[in-house]
A and B are shown apart, each in its own frame.
Chain A
């Protein structure tokens, strides 16, 4: 009795081209998924948490023209730009909208002394010692990192806030520096050309001797 010979089925001819196609597209595919999917542009930018009170920066900072520092008054002196205490809101809202349904958490906080549970939007790794005052007093505007807050109904993260993103500006600070008196004018410069902005930036960097450091210990210590 002769042993029946095993014959590969016809479709196994496709094995080699199949392996070549899969072997070349799969790494490319995973590279794309990791590069784009793990990027802070995907994971962090656009984070827009719901706040306990639907506070509109568009109304307060935009239409009513309140300076950023009216509420975030520690920004020029301390690393942390403070979320204002309830009292700051009550400066106006004791009289304006005192019966508003949406403002109930505020009035409750004012009566009980418990904080309003605002949700943090911008969060850096805790080994990064970012200092707001160091930037704001040297002419880096709020808008450089936070975007046009004065047009946002609800605040969201506008920039990546990753290390690479920080270094882009620390390596090449122009045109991101301006007259320190204009840092809270978020709309400033929209009618200027890039060349004008760069010239302005260089001028004010020379005036105030602003030369951003790229040492590790500048931000990590």
Chain B
């Protein structure tokens, strides 16, 4: 049986091998070279699919993917600063940035810090929740989620000051529950968020006007949460109270 199979293979393979021996050298070499060369694109594709590259992307079929128009924040070589989006011309204001209403835009009413919210603003739970969200995005990095001046940026900066890296200096962000800050009228808080104070930058260009008022509202709620009198809660008597001994055991 084994012999039979060997016989068949020999009968089939031998003429083929003899044909192959007869093959001219140039054909043999061409076949070898072409076969080897064919693996190069496959290797390149494998690399492109697995590795990172800082080279510009290969764009085989252009279609109209890149058009001679300018999109947001694109480069325009016509201008010295390269900005396709032109900065505001000095002495002008954006259409929504009219500073006619000093109460709404600056937090000032009758030459003093406003103590009330502007009439545009509807003070309700929606605005409060909006303020909470904005506070957690823009304020909590330094002031902390609770407003105690203990955000992660504060901790990081202190670390850097200790190790003395690159001339870092740091003024601790304010604890928003300080008496002096709690006493500030809403207009002053709004102004501080808008224009900054001491080492804090102004956030007027980063947060919209309405959102800044929402943050003020949330700040007031946050301050109240740490300094509330039980009598402010309607049915305070019926609520479970933590006794002093329970508190210390936790």
Q: Which residues on A are within 8 Å of B, measured CB to CB?
A: 9-11, 13-14, 29, 32-33, 36-38, 41-50, 63-67, 69-70, 73, 78-80, 82-83, 85, 87-88, 90-92, 94-100, 103, 113-115, 117, 123, 125-127, 156, 181
Chain B contact residue count (CB 8 A cutoff):
63
**What are the residues of chain B within 8 A of A50 when measuring CB–CB?**
54
Given contacts A29-B38, A49-B54, contact A64 B152 (CB under 8 A): yes
**Most A CB within 10 A of own CB, among B170, B201, B207:** B201
B20/A14 in contact, CB under 8 A: yes
Selected from B15, B69, B141, B199, the residue in CB contact (under 8 A) with A65 is B141
B168 A14 Cβ-Cβ under 8 A:
no
Other-chain residue from A41, A73, A97 in contact with B49 (beta carbon distance below 8 A): A41
CA distance in complex: A100, B164 (Å): 12
Chain A contacts of B122 at CB under 8 A? none
* Bound-complex Cα distance A65 to B153 (A): 9
| CA gap between A68 and B136 in the complex, in Å | 11
Main secondary structure of the interface of A (DSSP, over half): loop
B182, CB-defined interface residue at 8 Å: no
B interface residues, Cβ below 8 angstroms from A:
15-16, 18-20, 22-24, 27, 38, 41-42, 44-45, 48-54, 56-61, 63-67, 69, 71-73, 75, 81-83, 133, 136-138, 141, 152-153, 156-157, 160, 165-171, 199, 201, 203, 205-207
Contact B156 A64 (CB under 8 A): yes
Given contacts A97-B160, A97-B165, A126-B69, contact A73 B45 (CB under 8 A): no
Are the C-beta atoms of A11 and B23 separated by less than 8 Å?
yes
Q: Give 6 closest A-B pairs by Cβ, nearest first.
A: A80-B72, A99-B167, A125-B65, A42-B48, A11-B22, A10-B22
Out of B20, B44, B83, which one reaches A11, CB within 8 Å? B20
Query: In the assembled complex, which residues on chain A have CB atoms less than 8 Å from the CB atom of B49?
Result: 36, 41-42, 45-46
By CB atoms of chain B within 10 A, which of A49, A94, A113 has the most? A49
Tell me if A95 and B60 are in contact (CB < 8 A): no
Q: Is the CB of A11 within 8 A of B19?
A: yes
The residue on A at minimum CB distance from B83 is: A115
Asked whether A87 lies within 8 Å of B205 as measured between CB atoms, the reply is yes
How many angstroms from the CA of A121 to the CA of B21 in the assembled complex? 56
A92 B153 Cβ-Cβ under 8 A? yes
The answer on a CB contact under 8 Å between B64 and A125 is yes
Q: Out of B18, B44, B138, B168, which one reaches A10, CB within 8 Å?
A: B18
Question: Which residues of chain A come closer than 8 Å to B153, judged between CB atoms?
Answer: 64, 66, 92, 96
In the complex, what residues of A have CB within 8 A of residue B51's CB?
A: 46
Give complex CA distance A83, B71 in Å: 13
Residues of chain B contacted by A9 (CB below 8 angstroms)? 22
Cα-based distance from A78 to B71 in the complex (angstroms): 13
Please give me the residue from chain A that is nearest to B50 by CB atom: A46
The interface centre, meaning the residue of A66, A99, A127, A181 with most chain B CB atoms within 10 A of its CB, is A66
Query: Are A69 and B156 also in contact (CB < 8 A) when A33-B45, A125-B65 are?
Result: no
A13 near B170 with CB under 8 A, answer: no
Give the distance in Å from the alpha carbon of A103 to the alpha carbon of B66 in the complex.
Answer: 32
Bound state CA distance, A73 and B207, in angstroms? 8
Contact of A44 among B54, B57, B71, B199 (CB under 8 A): B57
Residue among B23, B27, B81, B160 with the most chain A CB within 10 A?
B23
State whether B168 touches A181 (Cβ < 8 A).
no
Task: Known contacts A82-B73, A90-B201, A127-B64; decide if A95 and B168 are in contact (CB<8 Å).
Answer: yes
Q: Do residues B167 and A46 form an inter-chain contact, with CB atoms below 8 A?
A: no
Q: Which residue of A lies closest to B62 (CB)?
A: A125
What separation, in Å, do the CA atoms of A90 and B196 have in the docked complex?
13
A207 to B69, CA, bound (A): 39
Q: A91 contacts which chain B residues (CB < 8 A)?
A: 201, 203
Q: Is the beta-carbon distance between B59 and A43 smaller than 8 angstroms?
A: yes
Q: Contact: B207 with A67, CB < 8 Å?
A: no
